[in-house]
Amino acid sequence: MHNQAADQSRSALHAVGDNVSHTPLLHVDGVGLQYRSATAVAQATHDVSFDVYPADRFVLLGPSGCGKSSLLKAVAGFLKPAAGEIRLDGVAIHQPGPDRIVVFQEFDQLPPWKTVKQNVMFPLLASRTLGKREAAERALHYLDKVGLGKFADAYPHTLSGGMKARVAIARALAMQPKILLMDEPFAALDALTRRKMQEELLILWEEVRFTLLFVTHSIEEALVVGNRILLLSPHPGRVRAEINSHEYDLQSLGSVGFQDTARRIHRLLFDEGQAEPAAQVNFKDVRFSY
């Protein structure tokens, strides 16, 4: 209900031309992504559109190979769309920038010769965002937020997988990007640690209210982490549906509503035989079922 109201106020604001606070932060419009080699063209996505609003936890969900990482790379500015356009804060994206920070799954991206604090400081210094003293302060601030204040002087090899994940998140947030991009960040963790990280990410979001674009192939993770989910079909990735999922969190994992929505999503993603109009009906059910 809350989101419906927000949608209505958004369109009302658009109608009168006042789009100061309700303009999408990220606008992805008809994006087609391709990989070209000398002999072939692989179409990764086709005509993908979506909008991410400030403080959204927007999830791209779909089976492996449907172009989720490619979309994230395009938003990060590493991959140029063959069709369509991506805008951040109204400005077309053509290259990487410090306003978009990516957290990947491989936490061994933390240089092992730097301490935790130095790892978090590094992008701040390399991008000349801050001087050394301010960078150290900012690093400690975000390490505290992820519960690693006491480990500032530890080296990455002494940390568990979950702690490395938290360092990577602190390092990204310390850059205070306009949008945080996460590509299956917890996929390499064991099931319990993964759940804990999802919980911590949500707690952190409650506190910091960053804008998140999160990629996963796990329906459960999408429902827990996201407030909005874009379902992508495979080969090439196309938008199958978009659903609201703000009512779900780790507490609702076993509930009937959660299970039911998870099953509907599964059907939308994998029921190849299902005709589009039927999918639309399901999509509406899911969206307005609360």
How far is the C-alpha of 117 from the C-alpha of 149, rounded, in Å? 9
List 8, 11, 35, 251, residue binding ligand ADP (CB under 6 A):
35
Closest approach of ligand ADP to the CB of residue 66, in Å? 4
Out of ligand ADP, Mg ion, none, which partner does residue 240 contact, by CB within 5 to 8 A per kind?
none
List 4, 12, 18, 42, residue binding ligand ADP (CB under 6 A):
42
Nearer to ligand ADP, 66 or 175 (CB): 66
Out of Mg ion, ligand ADP, none, which partner does residue 67 contact, by CB within 5 to 8 A per kind?
ligand ADP
Count of positions (residues) in the chain: 290
DSSP class of 109: G
Out of Mg ion, ligand ADP, none, which partner does residue 270 contact, by CB within 5 to 8 A per kind?
none
- Site for ligand ADP, residues 47 to 86, rule: CB under 6 A: 62, 64-70
Q: What Rg value do the Cα atoms of the chain yield, rounded? A: 19
Closest approach of ligand ADP to the CB of residue 44, in Å? 4
Closest approach of ligand ADP to the CB of residue 64, in Å? 4
Pick the closest to residue 49 from 69, 29, 23 (CA basis): 29
The answer to whether 282 contacts Mg ion (rule: CB under 5 A) is: no
- Site for Mg ion, residues 52 to 71, rule: CB under 5 A: 69
Out of Mg ion, ligand ADP, none, which partner does residue 65 contact, by CB within 5 to 8 A per kind?
ligand ADP
How far is the C-alpha of 280 from the C-alpha of 139, rounded, in Å? 46
What per-residue string of b and e applies to 87-111 under the rule 16 or more CB within 10 Å gives b? bbeeeebeeeeeebbbbbbebeebe
DSSP class of 156: G
- Residue by residue, DSSP assigns 23-70 as S-SEEEEEEEEEEE-SS-EEEEEEEEEEEE-TT-EEEEE--TTSSHHH
- Residue by residue, DSSP assigns 235-277 as TTBEEEEEEE-TT--GGGTTSHHHHHHHHHHHHHHH-TT--HH
Out of ligand ADP, Mg ion, none, which partner does residue 66 contact, by CB within 5 to 8 A per kind?
ligand ADP
How far is the C-alpha of 101 from the C-alpha of 76, rounded, in Å? 7
Number of residues located near ligand ADP, criterion CB under 6 A: 11
Nearer to ligand ADP, 42 or 281 (CB): 42
Q: Quick one: angle between helices 116-126 and 161-174, nearest 10?
A: 30
- Site for Mg ion, residues 171 to 230, rule: CB under 5 A: none
Out of Mg ion, ligand ADP, none, which partner does residue 42 contact, by CB within 5 to 8 A per kind?
ligand ADP
List 25, 44, 48, 120, residue binding ligand ADP (CB under 6 A):
44
Nearer to ligand ADP, 174 or 182 (CB): 182
Closest approach of Mg ion to the CB of residue 183, in Å? 6
Which residue's structure tokens are 């801050």? 130
Q: Which positions lie near ligand ADP, rule CB under 6 A?
A: 35, 42, 44, 62, 64-70
Q: Which positions lie near Mg ion, rule CB under 5 A?
A: 69
